[in-house]
């Protein structure tokens, strides 16, 4: 069994992409979560607990900095949320 979810959001002309992948077999459990800005991965983890997982990174736009957070949830069905400076900009997690 495996599942992958990708959530995309645009913020001030920047593309933010969060990806979560996991698979379960008899031999292994593998998982990976990534966060990318404009096609460049800025945060990654392979230690994702889908109940309380998150990735953090800073998006720079000229002289401004914005804190981007991706939160993951769910067990059977993956849910994700992207926030910028605490404001939701994408995803299906509340």
Domain coordinates in residue numbering, the chain: 2-91
24 pLDDT band (50/70/90 cuts)? Answer: confident
- Tell me which residue of 89, 60, 4 sits closest to 70, measured CA to CA: 89
pTM comes to 0.86
C-alpha 71/C-alpha 76 separation (Å) is 16
Residue identified by tokens 């991965």 is 41
- Given a contact cutoff of 8 angstroms between Cβ atoms, the answer to whether 51 and 31 are in contact is no
Give me the residue label for tokens 């997690």: 93
- Between 29 and 54, where is the model more confident? 54
How far is the C-alpha of 48 from the C-alpha of 21, rounded, in Å? 10
Provide, rounded to the nearest whole percent, the portion of the chain with pLDDT above 70. Answer: 93
């Amino acid at each position: 069994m495996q599942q992958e979810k990708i959530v995309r959001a645009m913020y001030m002309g920047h593309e933010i992409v969060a990806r979560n992948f996991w698979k379960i077999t008899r031999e292994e459990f593998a998982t990976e979560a990534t966060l990318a800005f404009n096609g460049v991965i800025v945060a990654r983890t392979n230690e994702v607990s889908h109940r309380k997982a998150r990735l953090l990174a800073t998006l720079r736009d000229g002289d401004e900095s914005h804190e981007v957070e991706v939160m993951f949830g769910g067990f059977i069905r993956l849910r994700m949320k992207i926030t910028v400076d605490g404001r939701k900009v994408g995803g299906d997690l509340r």
